[in-house]
Amino acid sequence: MGDFIHIRRDLHQIPELGFQEFKTQQYILDYLATLPSERLQIKTWRTGILVHVHGTAPTKTIGYRADMDGLPIDEQTDVPFRSTHEGRMHACGHDMHMAIALGVLTHVVHHPICDDMLFIFQPAEEGPGGALPMLESDEMKQWMPDMILALHIAPEYPVGTIATKEGLLFANTSELFIDLIGKGGHAAFPHETKDMVVAASSLIMQLQTIVSRNVNPLDSAVITVGKLTSGTVQNVIAERARLEGTIRTLSPEAMEKVKRRIEAIVRGVEVAYDCQAHIDYGSMYYQVYNDETLTNEFMQFVEKETNVRLVRCQEAMTGEDFGYMLARIPGFMFWLGVQSPFGLHHAKLNPNEEAIDVAIQLLTRYVTWKGNHKVKEE
């Protein structure tokens, strides 16, 4: 499996943002060109790739998805294969995801299974969201799988750990951008201005009351304002302010309620501070909801494996646009332990590469069993 560690390191050096994965796409296409082509069909969609592997006696199509994009983060690791793209990093493990997918794909090309498989290399998971438009593309519609699965690396779990659960796994998420526009002026004459630093400060405090006072205590939600930008210099009252944040909920209904409350509070700020406001929800991701039957079947399969340990985990406030695929196609996602002291989206994230071999071995055994299972039953 050393080849796939090498592939991961190559991909790690060329992280690209959503729908800009040109080098990444070409790298994968170049690798696919080295495989026997008799049972392969390849389509591209924007910067993504769909690879159909024909089975020997198909009764269904098993889908496997790997995301491709990196993050706008300056890498702070000291690995010799660190990012060569300034200000870009595979800080969410998508380089691992792609290498594992190529490992499984290579196996089923050389060791055919009965059922067809569709490998989906999806761009723009981190934003603006590639899963939903890819699902709606003509290319994907022609090869829509009957079931689908994916994994996500988990730095908090040791290598050899597989963590998942049936039902809700990841939250509903939405980006949040709020622009406030008032009137700037000299710091000595505040009465002649409309100060957006004061307005933004008040708004942030009011937003933090939504979860505690408008969301059912038995439900869960998070509103985080991670960035506030306002002003130009210390003695000029700010004419503009911009809040950037995220909303996460465990139910679609809670997401809608939170957004309605945000909009009501922002309208109040407009009146109270005599300003204009604009809300943009940016990228919105649907919850990752694992199919109960398929997930339980997978968990039972994992429990019989000797080189991995199954953990029945709790749902997380993590966001993943794979949720859109699971909303239309039965399937599941699971966490893959990679044992790193630094978490997802951290500039020093350095996953343990031994997890690549663990995942490829587990998944090749699983898809071989699943892809031949129905034929054997008949």
Active site residues: 67, 126
DSSP secondary structure letters along 69-104: --BS-------TT--SSTT-B-TTSHHHHHHHHHHH
* Largest Cα–Cα separation, the chain: 84
313 annotated ligand-binding residue = no
Residue labelled with tokens 């006696």 = 57
- Ligand-binding annotation for 126, yes or no, is yes
The DSSP call for residue 192 is G
Apex 172 CA angle, 262 and 279, nearest 5: 30
What Rg do the C-alpha atoms of the chain give, in angstroms?
23
168 pairs with which residues across the strands? 289
191 is annotated as contributing to ligand binding? no
- CA of 290: how far to CAs of 23, 41, 341, in Å? 32, 28, 28
Q: Which two tokens stand for residue 105?
A: 């794909």
Cα separation of 89 and 76, whole Å? 9
User: Which residues 6+ apart lie within 8 Å of 136 measured at CB?
Assistant: none
Residue 79 burial (10 A CB sphere; 0-12, 13-18, 19+): exposed
- Binding positions: 92, 94, 126, 152, 345
- Binding positions for Mn(2+): 92, 94, 126, 152, 345
